[in-house]
Amino acid sequence: MKNRFLKAIFVIALIFAFFASCKPKNSSNAVSGDAASKVYVAPGKYDEFYNFVSGGFSGQMSVYGLPSGRMLKVIPVFSVDPESGWGFSEETKPMLNTSHGFIPWDDAHHPEMSQTNGEVDGRWVFINGNNTPRIARLDLKRFKTAEIIELPNSAGNHSSPFITENTEYVVAGTRFGVPGDYEDGDVPINTYKENYKAHISFVKVGKEGEMDIAFQLRLPAVNFDLSHAGKGKSHGWFFFSCYNSEQANTLLEVNASQKDKDFIMAVNWKKAEEYIKDGKGKKEKAKYAHNYWDEKTHSAVSEMKEDVLVLDAMELKDICYMIPCPKSPHGCDVDPSGEYIAGSGKLAALIPVFSYTKMLAAIDKKTYEGDYNGIPVLKYDAVLHGEVQKPGLGPLHTEFDGKGNAYTTMFVSSEIVKWDIKTLKVLDRVPTYYSVGHLMIPGGDSKKPFGKYMVAYNKITKDRYLPTGPELTQSAQLYDITGDKMQLLLDFPTIGEPHYAQAAPADLIRNNGQVKFYKIEENQHPYVTKGEKESKVVRNGNQVHVYMTSTRSHFAPDNIEGIRVGDEVYFHITNLEQDWDVPHGFSVKGAKTAELLIMPGETSTLKWIPEKVGTSVFYCTDFCSALHQEMQGYVRVSPKGSATPLTYSVGTNMPAVK
């Protein structure tokens, strides 16, 4: 055991030394002279594609234009955001509620755009919270997080959120095996094989995008990495890469790499639905939060749920099947036809491609090589379409261009390899800079890829950008894939750490009824102020509610007196503007939150507890007009118990005439 351990450490050290020290071979002439013209977007012109990029440990999602690489917006999702007040305003705080309480951060990895008939439709984009297991849905009419649902019985929501071809389900697999929430988790860690389980969540998506956990599958405690749904002929199936089939609970870099093969797990979710209808599922106690945004009231609602329906796939033998795959697979990618499933073993020197048709035949004939914790294991050769030989070192993730070609990232050798799906021949390879993880082709995991561009999301950027201290910026690289040869066009930085991304034609989203402002007459916020004359300040014990309006270029009221130390002051600001791109900001001195950024026609609330006697100030934080600097106000704070009357005004509290 000691010798095996030392050998594994030595091999890993060599690998890391290799990719940390070398550059791709043809790096000197990788960019041709016409690259600049291909990415140039003239002033006043729009990009061709929206590119939605995961923010990794920032917990957010960023939006870039392609081909320019210009960042258009950061959409707050799981992390508080002082720019917009997300997680700071009273309305948005419930969006970050969980069964553990208020969690203002997460680790977001995999955007997934909604689809209809297997084609990107531009309605929503989903993204996972990896740390505190959650799935968020973002509304692309507003470019805003509309819903977040927590996943019980899960730890490390990495294999998520991948969708079925009509967005019937958003599906999530757990990264870590753990005891279920409905079980006694106070067990020794070294009883992992006996007491730990893994759960896959099937989250139903309604017509308006609303999410609800339909059921979960209880499975052996393997680590699920990535997944994709079948499409076309394979619709009704889902495929997951999984590693740690050794079920190790310590030093996984060695102990989870002992076997030559791990698995791709195929899930017949249509069969699971049949078992649900037959009453085979069991309601298990599990506490989890479901948070959603109410557009009418401009407020979030958080509900706590108490149970979830669980099917035991280890007892029901015809839901799941294991397909052997070279060790430690990462990517699990289905081509546009739905026939071929590419697995990417991180420690393999080839890419196995499996056939859906052969898989069905093997299941029908029970061509098994045994079982894994009660789940049938299909014979590798019986399911294999073929292997891409010598593609590079460290294959991770594959996408498709819709022309019969696949593109796979090579993490160790820092390159992307293009290969023919049917013949499995390598057609081209191009360097990346450096250690590429995911790649993205617009629509590249759908039945109808848009092609044209490919973006690599790289882990290391040494010598690509100006240095910025011990940490360098995160990197994306844009390639033209319209010809036989891939062509590097552009480097552009991203907020970090980018993992996966998705993109769609700009017009598909831009012309799909995007909201430019909220109609003030439709605002049903409980503290809305629909006109300046309705503004007021109301005391209820130690709570003070300020019904305030903002418009270019003043607040109403802008003079408030009679606030006392220790009061809970709620500023409910309604932006009266009814024009596109005229938000107003609001901040008050001493508030232990952030600013508010209030969209036209929207109402938002900032809570402030004054701690000092004196005069505090508030002002607009978002440039709104030539008189933006004049958009300000004053709050007089008196001692606790003061008899100073509560007064408020705008334009009338003038100095006395002498």
- Indicate which CATH number applies to the domain containing 645: 2.60.40.420
CA 552 to chain centre: 36
Residue 307: which pLDDT band, with cuts at 50, 70 and 90?
Answer: very high
pLDDT at 10: 38
Which pair of tokens denotes residue 229?
A: 């749904």
Whether 10 is covered by a domain: the verdict is: no
pLDDT-based confidence at residue 31 (cuts at 50, 70, 90): low
The reported pLDDT for the residue numbered 30 is 53
Res 14: pLDDT: 41
pLDDT by residue (tens digit) across 401-437?
999 999 999 999 999 999 999 999 999 999 999 999 9
Residue 7 lies in a domain: no
Residues 555, 641, single domain; the answer is: yes
Residue 130 lies in a domain: yes
How much is the average pLDDT of 389-393?
A: 96
> Domain count of the chain?
2
Residue 4 lies in a domain: no
Residues 175 and 258 grouped into a single domain: yes
**Quick one: 475 and 550 in the same domain?**
no
Determine which of 74-78, 326-330, 395-399 has the lowest per-residue pLDDT on average.
326-330
Helices (H), 240-291: 252-255, 269-277
Reported as a pLDDT band with limits 50, 70 and 90, residue 657 is confident
481 neighbors 453 (Cβ within 8 angstroms): yes
With respect to residue 437, please indicate whether it lies within any of the assigned structural domains: yes
Mean pLDDT to the nearest integer, 159-177: 97
Q: Do 455 and 602 fall within a single domain?
A: no
Tell whether 545 and 564 lie within a shared domain: yes
Both 570 and 596 in a single domain? yes
pLDDT at residue 18 greater than cutoff 80? no
Q: Is residue 13 part of a domain?
A: no
Domain stops at, among 475, 510, 545: 510
Beta-bridge partners for 61: 54, 75
* pLDDT above 50: residue 3: no
Helices (H), ranges, 226-323 = 252-255, 269-277
Host domain of residue 419: 21-510
Phi, psi of 657 (to 5 degrees): -75, 125
Both 494 and 538 in a single domain? Answer: no
Q: Is residue 2 a part of any domain in this protein?
A: no
| 657 domain residue, yes or no | no
In the predicted structure, residue 7 carries a pLDDT above the cut 80: no
pLDDT tens by residue, 603-645: 999 999 999 999 999 999 999 999 999 999 999 999 999 999 9
pLDDT for position 21: 38
Average pLDDT, the chain: 94
Domain boundary pick from 510, 541, 570: 510
For the cut 90, the answer to whether the pLDDT of residue 12 exceeds it is no
Q: What's the pLDDT tens digit per position in 61-98?
A: 999 999 999 999 999 999 999 999 999 999 999 999 99
CA 128/CA 171 separation, integer angstroms = 10
HSE-CB for 296 with a 13 A CA cutoff: 2
Please, which residues bridge with residue 220 across strands? 197
Question: Are residues 536 and 423 part of one domain?
Answer: no
Count the neighbouring beta carbons within 10 Å of the beta carbon of residue 581.
Answer: 10
Last residue of a domain, one of 510, 538, 556: 510
Report the alpha-carbon angle 269-275-280, nearest 5.
135
For residues 505 and 531, state if they share a domain: no
Q: Are residues 372 and 410 in the same domain?
A: yes
Q: What is the CATH number of the domain that holds 202?
A: 2.130.10.10
Q: What are the pLDDT digits (tens) for 103-114?
A: 999 999 999 999
Q: Check whether residue 139 and residue 89 sit in a common domain.
A: yes
Return the higher-pLDDT residue of 589 and 15. Answer: 589
pLDDT digits (tens, 9 = 90+) for 473-503: 999 999 999 999 999 999 999 998 899 999 9
SS3 of 533, please? helix
Same domain, residue pair 505 and 539: no
Q: Is 319 helix (H, G, I), strand (E, B) or coil?
A: coil
